[in-house]
């Protein structure tokens, strides 16, 4: 079976952008792949090292979101990154052979330094963010990595690091396979203000939001600004609510009628949003039910993480034996 790895940083509750962007793929892949899904707490610390107080709580929240959307601990290994020591060990090995230039040139790195000006990210650790990502993936020899599009540059580096390791130590053999990026077929889910959905913009629809909260947020979210009055025609391509329809609406006739109605002002934004809210409510009901189920079961959550880490440790230790051997470390 092909191996899949992916991770998310525990920095707060997840939103529908995470659901459409990556989690739907994870849930699909767990049926016929050997999957490792990690709550990457070390990565969260790389940007939040100055105030780690919420780390444990956030890790638990994301675990609940994952289980809520349908990740099944019987089918995949769900674990906390810091519980599996190999990630850190391989991170060091890979950091030795990663040229500084690769990291400094990384567009995501440059962008984050600019975007997160309130945090001092000019640290040694943060520069190595993609090296730890590479170690997360390569330690399981994962060949598929389902992520949001924003991770593509990082994953390109993972492949380059794998190639360099193989070149230096593989003696013609491929120790690490090059991981492939798996992107979702859904368009980016915009936030309620039309910008990218992001906690820092305060425009998110959260997985854990009650239906009543989602209803309120959707009813007040922006639509095509050209539709100022009910009789003004609009363009679905300019409407963030339409992007939500594409993810949530599974009624083919509505999906045909809405764009026509919008362009001819046959339907109003309120009608359109009512349909959307009904689909969101239908899709999120079982998600919320699962979340509530797990919220009150601390013991079960703990067992999931313990057995997930055991499975992850088993596979990662096998790789680390090969790595120590490749690096000519003395065996005892």
Q: Is 137 or 205 the residue whose CB approaches ligand TRP more closely?
A: 137
| CA angle at 142 for the pair 136 and 143, rounded to the nearest 5° | 135
Cα–Cα nearest to 214, from 16, 10, 71, 13: 16
Q: Would you count residue 204 as binding ligand TRP (CB under 6 A)?
A: no
CA dihedral 302, 303, 309, 315 (to 10 degrees): -170
d(CA 130, CA 128): 6
Shortest distance, position 288 Cβ to ligand TRP, whole Å? 23
Shortest distance, position 31 Cβ to ligand TRP, whole Å? 20
Among 25, 58, 98, 151, binds ligand TRP (CB under 6 A): 151
Provide the token pair at 177: 């396979």
Among 45, 55, 147, 205, binds ligand TRP (CB under 6 A): 147
Q: Is 5 or 248 the residue whose CB approaches ligand TRP more closely?
A: 5
CA dihedral 102, 104, 110, 112 (to 10 degrees): 90
Among 77, 133, 208, 277, binds ligand TRP (CB under 6 A): 133
Those residues whose C-beta lies under 8 Å from the C-beta of residue 23, and which sit 6 or more positions away, are 14, 66, 69, 71
Shortest distance, position 291 Cβ to ligand TRP, whole Å? 21
* Residue facing ligand TRP at closest CB distance: 7
Shortest distance, position 42 Cβ to ligand TRP, whole Å? 9
Q: Would you count residue 272 as binding ligand TRP (CB under 6 A)?
A: no
Q: Would you count residue 65 as binding ligand TRP (CB under 6 A)?
A: no
Choices 1-9, 53-61, 192-200, 292-300 (CB under 6 A): range interacting with ligand TRP: 1-9
Among 9, 60, 144, 159, binds ligand TRP (CB under 6 A): 9
Q: 170 and 187 in contact (C-beta within 8 Å)?
A: no
Shortest distance, position 25 Cβ to ligand TRP, whole Å? 12
Q: Would you count residue 240 as binding ligand TRP (CB under 6 A)?
A: no
Among 3, 4, 8, 78, binds ligand TRP (CB under 6 A): 8
Query: Site size for ligand TRP, by CB under 6 A?
Result: 13
Q: Would you count residue 7 as binding ligand TRP (CB under 6 A)?
A: yes
d(CA 269, CA 325): 63
Q: What track of x and - describes contact with ligand TRP for positions 85 through 124 (by CB under 6 A)?
A: ----------------------------------------
Tell me which residues in 11-50 interact with ligand TRP (CB under 6 A). 40, 43
Q: Would you count residue 145 as binding ligand TRP (CB under 6 A)?
A: yes
| CA angle at 52 for the pair 137 and 119, rounded to the nearest 5° | 85
Q: Is 39 or 221 the residue whose CB approaches ligand TRP more closely?
A: 39
* Binding positions for ligand TRP, rule: CB under 6 A: 5-9, 40, 43, 133, 136-137, 145, 147, 151
């Amino acid at each position: 079976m092909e191996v899949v790895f992916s991770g998310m940083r525990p920095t707060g509750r997840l939103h529908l952008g995470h659901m459409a962007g990556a989690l739907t793929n994870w849930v699909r892949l767990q049926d016929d792949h050997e999957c490792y899904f990690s709550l990457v707490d070390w990565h969260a610390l790389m940007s939040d090292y100055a105030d780690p107080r919420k780390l444990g709580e956030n890790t638990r929240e994301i675990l609940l979101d994952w289980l809520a959307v349908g990740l099944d601990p019987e089918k995949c290994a769900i674990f906390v990154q810091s519980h599996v020591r190999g990630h850190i060990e391989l991170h060091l090995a890979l950091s030795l052979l990663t040229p500084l230039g690769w990291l400094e040139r990384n567009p995501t790195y440059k962008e984050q330094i600019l975007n997160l000006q309130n945090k001092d990210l000019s640290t040694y650790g943060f520069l190595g963010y993609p090296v730890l990502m590479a170690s997360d993936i390569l330690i399981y020899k994962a060949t598929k990595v389902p992520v949001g599009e924003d991770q593509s540059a990082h994953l390109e580096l993972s492949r380059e690091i794998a190639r360099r390791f193989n070149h230096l130590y593989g003696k013609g053999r491929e120790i690490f396979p090059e991981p492939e990026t798996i992107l979702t077929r859904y368009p980016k889910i915009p936030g309620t203000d039309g910008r990218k959905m992001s906690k820092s913009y305060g425009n998110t629809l959260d997985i854990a939001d009650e239906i009543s909260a989602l209803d309120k947020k959707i009813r007040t979210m922006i639509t095509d600004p050209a539709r100022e009055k009910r009789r003004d025609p609009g363009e679905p391509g300019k409407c963030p609510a339409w992007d939500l329809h594409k993810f949530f609406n599974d009624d083919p006739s509505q999906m045909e009628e809405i764009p026509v109605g919008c362009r001819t002002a046959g339907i109003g934004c309120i009608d359109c949003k009512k349909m959307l809210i009904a689909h969101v409510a239908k899709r999120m009901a079982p998600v919320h039910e699962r979340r509530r189920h797990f919220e009150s079961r601390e013991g079960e959550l703990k067992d999931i993480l313990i057995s997930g880490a055991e499975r992850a440790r088993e596979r990662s230790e096998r790789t680390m034996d090969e790595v120590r051997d490749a690096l000519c470390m003395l065996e005892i």
